[in-house]
Amino acid sequence: MIRFLLQFIVTGAAMLGLSSQLSGFRVDGWKPALVAAVVLGLVNTLVKPVLQLLTFPLTILTLGLWLLFINAGMLWLTQRLVRGFEISNGTSLFLGSILLSLVGMIWKAASKDDPSDRRSA
């Protein structure tokens, strides 16, 4: 449960970092960043799988590059739903979605449970 909550904090921090580095990416503070992280998690859980299923043939035809557009679409939808979180141009949208995906992958790899660390009961 703690790891789950930390994932939102890491994503929110990444959004704040992106807002200082990408000119079209704006987050108005910690609260909108954390709300955006939660909304992005919900959108990725509820909407993204449906879109991936519906556009599977396009994903095959583009050798997976279509998934970049789906990720950008999820970030666009998030910024439409959250006040204080705004992405004003397509370049920032695509770069932001790629960088947030990388942060998510790094976080998952870093926080993965190591079976050898578990104590026997």
Cα 77 to Cα 4: distance, rounded to the nearest angstrom = 22
**What confidence score (pLDDT) does residue 115 get?**
61
Q: Quick one: pLDDT band at residue 117, thresholds 50, 70, 90? A: low
**What confidence score (pLDDT) does residue 118 get?**
58
Cα 81 to Cα 57: distance, rounded to the nearest angstrom = 29
Segment 15-64, tens digit of pLDDT: 999 999 999 999 999 999 999 999 999 999 999 999 999 999 999 999 99
Six token digits for residue 79: 């910024």
Segment 55-70, tens digit of pLDDT: 999 999 999 999 999 9
Cα 17 to Cα 72: distance, rounded to the nearest angstrom = 18
Residue 3 has pLDDT above 90, yes or no: no
Which letter does DSSP use for residue 108 in this model? H
Contact 18, 100 (CB under 8 A): yes
Contact 57, 34 (CB under 8 A): no
